[in-house]
Amino acid sequence: MAFKGASAGYSKLVDKRIFESSQENNYIISANYPEFQPAASESLNESLNKYIYDDIIFENISAFKDEIAGYDKEQNGRDGESLAWQYGLTIEYEVITYTDKVVSLLFTEKRNRDRNGWFTYSSSANKAAQKTL
C-alpha cells in the first residue's frame, strides 16, 4: 500500500498497545501497532500513522466487535453450567523493512474463541503495509 505526503524519513518507531476487555460481551482485544515519529515534519505523522490506526487497527477491531455482537453469548449445559463463549482478537505487527527510503510492515490478526477454557476455534489473516519515503 502506497502512502501519500511523505518527503522525508521517520526518526523513531514507538510500540503502541491497546488492551480492551468486556465481561458483558465476552471478549478480550489485544493490539500492538507501530507509531512512527517523523524526523523533519509533524505533518508526516498523519500520513503513515493515520493509515495504520484507522485502516488497519480500528477497522479490524470494529469488524471483530460487529461480528461477535450477533453471536449468542451464553448457553447452558446439561447440568445448568454456563457455557459462555470467550472471544479474542490479537493484532501483532512485524517490521519487514525500515530504512530512510522505505517502511514495510506485516500485520497479523488472530481471532479465537473458547468455552470454559477449552480452545475451539482460531483464524488468522495477514495484511501488509508499505511506504516509500
Q: In what order do the strands lie in the sheet with 102-115?
A: 10-22, 27-38, 85-98, 102-115, 118-132
The grid cell for 16 is 503502541
pLDDT 10s digits, 76-91:
555 555 557 788 999 9
pLDDT 10s digits, 3-31:
444 434 556 788 999 999 998 888 999 99
For the chain, list the domains and their CATH numbers.
10-69+83-132 (3.30.565.40)
- The pTM of the full predicted model, rounded to 2 decimals, is 0.75
CA distance 50 to 23: 30
